[in-house]
Amino acid sequence: MSATANPSTNASANDDRSKEERLKQYLLDRAQDGEMYFKGKFISEDVDLSPKEIGALMVKLRDSATELTVEKWSYTGATTWRVEPA
């Protein structure tokens, strides 16, 4: 039995991290001049993520991104997020 990590599991964890970092950097760039409001479906092409992935990552970023203030703003057809620099 090997003690090394499963490469596919490791790659998946790295991929999730890079998606989170990519989204965080996009939000930092867009919110540098102040707050912004968006729905995942409208930025999905910009960050190369599905709206569902964006929603899941926004929940993570709300708790982990110290550089951003993330707030679930409203829901009308899709979640609207409010983001501003911390």
Per-residue pLDDT reduced to its tens digit, 3-56: 545 554 555 666 777 999 999 999 999 999 999 999 999 999 999 999 999 999
Q: What is the pLDDT of residues 69-82, one digit of tens each?
A: 999 999 888 999 99
The pLDDT value recorded for residue 2 is: 47
Does the global pTM surpass 0.95?
A: no
Walk me through the domains of the chain, giving residue ranges and CATH numbers. 7-85 (1.10.10.10)
The pLDDT value recorded for residue 12 is: 65
Q: DSSP labels for 8-58?
A: HHHHHHHHHHHHHHHHHHHHHHHTTTS-EEEEHHHHHHHHT--HHHHHHHH
